[in-house]
A = this chain, B = another copy of it.
């Protein structure tokens, strides 16, 4: 059994968990058999002196088809 890793940056205006979820949901459109993720960076954009976006960079691990 072998897994492959893809790195994705998800964005949300609610928080870091939602940003990670958006990264996973985007990956899910093109990759099958997603299994787990690890956060590698948490960042955010500031607009008009307020946080306007939360960013979560995640490594997503998925099973390769047999």
Residue ranges of A at the interface with B (Cβ–Cβ < 8 Å): 1-11, 14-18, 20-26, 28, 32, 34-39, 41-46, 49-51, 54, 57, 59-61, 64
Contact = CB atoms under 8 A, between A and B. Distances in A.
Chain multiplicity (copies): 12
Contact of A2 (B4, B23, B38, B44): B23
22 contacts: A2-B9, A2-B26, A3-B9, A14-B17, A15-B16, A15-B17, A15-B18, A16-B17, A20-B51, A21-B50, A21-B51, A24-B46, A26-B64, A32-B49, A34-B46, A35-B45, A36-B46, A37-B44, A38-B41, A39-B42, A39-B43, A46-B60
A25 B16 CA distance: 17
